[in-house]
Amino acid sequence: MSVNNEVDLFDIAHKEREEQAAFRRTVLCCGSTACLSGGAQAAIDAIQAGVTEKGLQQEVRVVATGCMGLCSRGPLVKVRTRGEDDVLYADVDAATGTRIAEEHLVAGKPVEDVRMSLEHPFFARQERVVLENMGEIDPNRIEDYIAHGGYRALRDAVTTMTPAGVVGIVQRSGLRGRGGGGYPAGSKWALLAKAQSDQKSIIANGDEGDPGAYMDRTVMEDDPHRVLEGMAIAAFATGASKGYIYVRAEYPVAVRRLEQAIRQAKRNKLLGKNLFGSEFSFDVEIRIGAGAFVCGEETALMASIMGQRGTPVLRPPYPTERGLWGHPSMINNVETLANVPTILRRGPDWFADIGTETSRGTKVFALAGKLNNTGLIEVPMGITLREIVEEIGGGVAGGKAFKAAQTGGPSGGCIPAKHLDTPVDYDSLMALGSIMGSGGLIVMDEDVSMPEVARFFMRFCMDESCGKCLPCRAGTYEMHELLEALIAGRGTAATLVRLETLCDVVRTNSLCGLGQTAPNPVLSTLHYFRSEYEALLVPEGAHLAGLPGAHGATAAAHAGAAAGRSAAGERSA
């Protein structure tokens, strides 16, 4: 416990705020991966060049921030002037950047023809907790995070609270796991806190494998310190000393930003030994995946961290009893952990007031598909799908009719138009045969064929099945074959019956969540769009040749074939 270990957050925050306040204007430019691919760098350079050329360096600060949300209208730029309302620009290219510099920054007149109202429903209908710093701070600078209240929750927890007190706050907030399952976070924390061991670990699950989801990616890339702070608070509350962030290899920018954030936090003594002069020490390591959807499952993820094949094992024992290298471990989703600093800062009651009785707080969604506005949104739980699709999403693009909203990725389902007024919370979505999932929300219009959607997800599950248990390995293969047969016009009424039977077998007999939920896209599309399947059926006897499993004798052969494929390392490209 040396004085050297104490860090004065107030000093850092104060200095940073003073430096920022010295500028009359701040130009916040979206520098997220999406906007960069849309030419944001050229826009930022043009604005910066304009500022330099006009000698405004003392007056105007240009910052590349994280994601501002409305990816379909990117690159986005926000001009903030002391004493004035913010001005937002959409679709900014280099030429527009130059105009913003000349007309707005120099002459003080907003460029009206590229301006976008901040009252636009896309922004107005959102409520930001996890994403509160997005578009506000420079993700490369820890000082900016601290100036926005960062690491204050950790300091207060470590210096003024007991671990049990922190667990109590998370329990009272009603926070549930944001990875999709919705298990109460506080209960999980309490389990790890109770476990007796001299070594415990916290794992942040950033293996965002659902195709169509990029919430965690954005949080890790654009507000990395929030993840670290959430992990450190969880570690303090549960008595853990070691943290791992498991990130998909497909997210190299997230890996780099997190590495940098860890270095900065260590340098500022916000990670490491004896934090804030206490007995509490905590270190974080990054582990990179290598492309396996099943590694989002807790036990598979831990196997992967230990350098093994990511195959799940039966639970119990749960990771909080026996996890990494046999020690008690706890896995929380990145978004779950990202909620924690704000919950501590603003109090559990404030958080519990947002959302519904059983689903507290907000949820981040990656809004994609055939909508006018696509991007990253954060909404209070309990908002209806209709509000998300029609108001925030601006309705279906090209004047087409809405057909379905897909949530929960390969483990979820398709929700039809008649249920658009359903509130978005864990239980309501479950009742509709879908799940909240990690937050992918993809809207499909009238042109999308539901059996093809089911086949798309089944192919994904078939490819991603780890091959350990037979119901999933052979079942997903067989279901994919049956869907292929139906779509190719080789399916009869019996094919449909077999498909439904198999859904039940795979759902009830698979070892882990991947197999247990793999039939969901089929079941939900069959439930709501059965006529589309029936329209594909041919009479019994027609095209019988080549119909998989038509004689009931080939299932075993397929099972064998699937096993062979999994074992032979057919993953090589």
Task: Name 239's Cβ contacts closer than 8 Å, sequence gap at least 6.
Answer: 163, 192, 193, 200
HSE-CB for 533 with a 13 A CA cutoff: 26
Q: Comparing C-alpha atoms, which of 280, 278, 282 is closest to residue 1?
A: 278
What 3-state class would DSSP assign to 19? helix
Q: Which of residues 217-246 bind other proteins (CB under 8 A)?
A: 217
Q: Which of 51, 232, 237, 366 binds other proteins (CB under 8 A)?
A: 366
Cβ proximity to other proteins, 251 vs 529, nearer residue: 251
Largest interatomic CA distance in the chain: 84
CB neighbourhood size of 500 (10 A): 14
Among 205, 406, 411, 476, which residue interacts with other proteins (rule: CB under 8 A)?
Answer: 406
Do 70 and 59 meet the contact criterion of CB atoms below 8 Å apart?
no
Give the residue, chosen from 23, 151, 189, 251, that forms a contact with other proteins under the rule CB under 8 A: 251
Answer yes or no whether residue 270 interacts with other proteins by CB under 8 A.
no
As beta bridge partners, residue 562 has: none
With binding defined as CB under 8 A, does residue 545 bind other proteins? no
Residue 10 or 325 with smaller CB distance to other proteins: 325
Nearest approach, Cβ of residue 27 and other proteins (Å): 22
Using rule CB under 8 A, residue 379 touches other proteins: no
Interaction between residue 312 and other proteins (CB under 8 A): no
Binding residues for other proteins restricted to 407-426, rule: CB under 8 A:
409
497 CB neighbour count, 10 Å cutoff: 10
Q: How far is the CB of 462 from other proteins (least distance, A)?
A: 13
DSSP state of 318: P
Q: Which of 265, 343, 368, 462 binds other proteins (CB under 8 A)?
A: 368
Measured from the CB atom, the residue of 287 and 473 that comes closer to other proteins is 287
Task: Work out whether the CA dihedral 73, 147, 225, 349 comes out positive or negative.
Answer: negative
Q: Which residues contact 191 (CB under 8 A, 6 or more apart)?
A: 318, 320, 330
Choose the binding region for other proteins from 92-100, 339-347, 453-461, 548-556 (rule: CB under 8 A): 453-461
Q: Does 456 help bind other proteins (rule: CB under 8 A)?
A: yes
Which of 393, 477, 302 is CA-nearest to residue 71? Answer: 393
- Report DSSP letters for 113-135, one per residue: GGEE-TTSHHHHT---STTTTTT
Rounded Cα distance, 523 and 568, in Å? 31
Half-sphere exposure of 134 (CA within 13 A, CB side): 30
Q: Residue count at the site for other proteins (CB under 8 A)?
A: 64
> Which span (105-113, 123-131, 344-352, 361-369) binds other proteins, by CB under 8 A?
361-369
Going across the sheet that includes 201-206, the strands are 283-288, 242-247, 201-206, 329-333
**Does position 204 bind other proteins by CB under 8 A?**
no
Query: Binding of other proteins at residue 290 (CB under 8 A)?
Result: yes
What binding mask, one character per residue, do residues 498-527 give for other proteins by CB under 8 A, x or -? ------------------------------
Where are any strands of DSSP class E within 150-196? none
Is 326 or 564 the residue whose CB approaches other proteins more closely? 326
Report the residue number, 345 or 571, with the smaller CB distance to other proteins: 571
Residue with smaller CB distance to other proteins, 386 or 400: 400
The one among 138, 144, 210, 222 contacting other proteins by CB under 8 A: 210
Spatial strand order in the sheet of 362-369: 375-380, 362-369, 440-445, 402-407, 413-416
Q: Which of 108, 165, 317, 326 binds other proteins (CB under 8 A)?
A: 326
Q: Which of 229/464 has CB closer to other proteins?
A: 464
Evaluate whether 23 touches 17 at the Cβ level (below 8 Å): no
Dist. CA 265–CA 255, nearest whole Å? 15
Q: Among residues 304, 329, 510, 520, which is the contact residue for other proteins, using CB under 8 A? A: 304
Stretch that binds other proteins, among 7-15, 70-78, 188-196, 488-496 (CB under 8 A): 70-78
Min CB(103)–other proteins separation in Å: 27
Task: Find the binder of other proteins among 34, 146, 338, 379 (CB under 8 A).
Answer: 34
Give the three-class secondary structure for 157: helix
Residue 14 tokens read as: 């104060």
Residue closest to 274 by CA, chosen among 567, 514, 6: 6
Residues making contact with other proteins (CB under 8 A): 33-34, 36-38, 71-72, 74, 199, 208-214, 217, 249-253, 256, 287-293, 304-311, 325-327, 366-370, 374-376, 406, 409, 440, 442, 444, 448, 456-457, 460, 466, 568-569, 571-573
